[in-house]
Chain A
Amino acid sequence: MSKLTDLSIAEAREGLKNKAFSAAELTEAHIRAVEKARALNAFITETPAIARAAAAESDKRIASGTMRPLEGIPMGIKDLFCTKDVLTTAGSHILDGFKPPYESTVTRNMFNDGAVMLGKLNMDEFAMGSSNETSYYGPVINPWRRKGSDAKLVPGGSSGGSSASVAARLAMGATGTDTGGSIRQPAAVTGIAGIKPTYGRCSRWGIVAFASSLDQAGPMARTVRDCAIMLKSMASHDPLDSTSVDIPVPDYEAAMTGNIKGLRVGIPKEYRIDGMPAEIEALWQKGIAWLKDAGAEIVDVSLPHTKYALPAYYIVAPAEASSNLARYDGVRFGLRVPGKDITSLYENTRAAGFGREVQRRILIGTYVLSAGYYDAYYIKAQKLRTLIARDFEEAYAKCDVLLTPTAPGPAFGIGEKTNDPISMYLNDVFTVTVNLAGLPGLSVPAGLNSEGLPLGLQLIGKAFDEATLFRVGEVIEKAAGATPRPQSWWEV
């Protein structure tokens, strides 16, 4: 049998059911992997005691024949999800010592279904970043390296601890959140799968808010099927989040029939951007060929407002963030830096507690919402969102699903893009449209480039049609062949 940490969630589920190994053994193997991989800096907080207790409960359940859907599966939780009595930082200094007295709905759903929490995963501060370099807890290192090089690469962001931990076989799956691409881009550059569900599919309750009209939680795992298994548990209608939808959660695995004959796959011509590396274009063409070979019909479509998505996003997201982050005041939780009066207490706390990227975005957001500018910026951006959403509606008259690259390139070096915010923002050029329109997007690992680094393809679906994404995603995954595991250079 292969190593326990190499199994997929689906395989581990079978192994636990057949008593090939116990939940305790599976959890111990992962706790050891986490301990040996501290060089990756993927975890902010490790919770082995919680994991062992949950695994013991899982073994009881398995023995009594009352196995739950995620029974005994060791997972990592992005540190944006509030976990009861466990430090939750959002990657920020300003949440120092914050132990939520409540559990987020998504993590509660997972634990109710038997998931085992290994710890809280590193991330860009308040999920603002595409490289996991804005974390107060330091950058996460991608387990992948260029062939013949030991240069440290970024794991993508903002869910960089999630992507690195799953790719490095520290966790079988991880939660992520995606406001402009923060699940899909890190999944792509670490060779794993990740889905941003339709806005409203997962409850946002108990997830530290970044941009409320864009934020959505989703799973990251090594296979498309594993993402389907996780999303089934994570998604729910929740009275505590008025934007969560009351639509039954389908049986995603049942939809994965492997049959895509006659399915119409749209190729949006506007995603062929200037300066796109030849290897990304080649990967896209390969993806088109795989789906054609499987019996899909390829259709050219147009999404004319694509190029306005990123600038619209960089108005909407900072505006909503500046409002959401107003709550960090040094009074109710986290860091407090004293001042001569209450205003200077606020100002000193926020100056010391927020990192540079977060401060920059709060200032942009405050500026575009300030008197006299609201219509010119925020309303203008919301009008562009209407046009972007309309583009998708028109495209879906001609096709069932869209295929694009996930990211404009492979993982880049640590420090390579930190001095140029706009070049960093461009990482999200293919993913951000989906958030603005509220649609689901799945990144599927699609092979390695000439330097040996993973690349991903993105499938974009109709609202609440995650099932089709899983079905098509599995076809791509099979055609691409299994992504090899990265060399475990980080082990001590």
Chain B
Amino acid sequence: MSVDKETVRRVARLARIAFPEERLEPMAGELNRILAWVEQLNAVDTSMVEPMTSVVKVSLKMREDAVTDGAKAPEVVRNAPSGEDNYFAVPKVVE
């Protein structure tokens, strides 16, 4: 599985990171080196192994289904770069 320039462009788009054209090719090279290095995992037969889903052997605790927090709109929006009246402001999305 080898990454080319077009794959980097697609993945960068998925990750919502603007990538200048001239950085696509070098990044493809960097990703390929790392992916080639992780390929060594294929040497291990894991057909009979369950993937890890929880790192410690404890079951999740149940809690009451109750509202315990909220009604803090001014605090929630306080750090927003742009907003008014407890709303976040973004460029126009719907015409």
Contacts and interface: CB of A to CB of B under 8 A. Distances in A.
A376 B51 CA distance: 12
Given A199-B56, A308-B41, A351-B18, A384 B46 contact: yes
Contacts of A343: 16
A308 B92 CA distance: 48
Interface in A351-408: 351, 354, 359-360, 362-364, 366-367, 370, 373, 376-377, 379-387, 389
B29 to A, nearest CB: 11
B56 A332 contact: no
A68 to B, nearest CB: 27
Given A363-B12, A421-B30, A308 B40 contact: yes
B80 to A, nearest CB: 6
B75 interface: yes
B interface, over-half SS? loop
Interface string A244-256: 0110000000000
Interface stretch (A37-45, A59-67, A144-152, A309-317): A309-317
A322 B15 contact: yes
A364 B31 contact: yes
Contact of B11 (A246, A367, A387): A367
Of A239, A311, A334, the most chain B CB neighbours within 10 A belong to A311
A412 to B, nearest CB: 20
B7 to A, nearest CB: 7
Given A314-B38, A334-B79, A370-B14, A386 B50 contact: yes
A319 B12 CA distance: 14
B88 A332 contact: yes
Interface residues of A, number: 73
A341 B12 CA distance: 17
Interface in B1-52: 1, 3, 7-8, 11-19, 27, 30-31, 33-35, 37-38, 40-42, 44, 46, 49-52
Given A331-B88, A367-B11, A346 B16 contact: yes
Contacts of A386: 49-52
B55 A199 contact: yes
A364 B3 CA distance: 10
A393 to B, nearest CB: 10
Interface of B: 1, 3, 7-8, 11-19, 27, 30-31, 33-35, 37-38, 40-42, 44, 46, 49-53, 55-58, 60-61, 63, 72, 75-82, 88, 90-93
Given A200-B58, A312-B38, A364-B31, 15 more contacts: A100-B79, A242-B60, A307-B40, A314-B37, A342-B90, A347-B18, A350-B18, A351-B18, A362-B17, A363-B12, A380-B41, A382-B53, A384-B44, A384-B46, A386-B49
Q: Which 10 A-B pairs have the closest CB atoms?
A: A438-B55, A382-B51, A336-B81, A333-B79, A347-B18, A383-B46, A351-B18, A385-B52, A101-B75, A311-B38
13 contacts: A198-B56, A239-B63, A245-B56, A314-B34, A315-B38, A326-B16, A330-B81, A333-B81, A350-B15, A351-B19, A359-B17, A377-B38, A463-B56
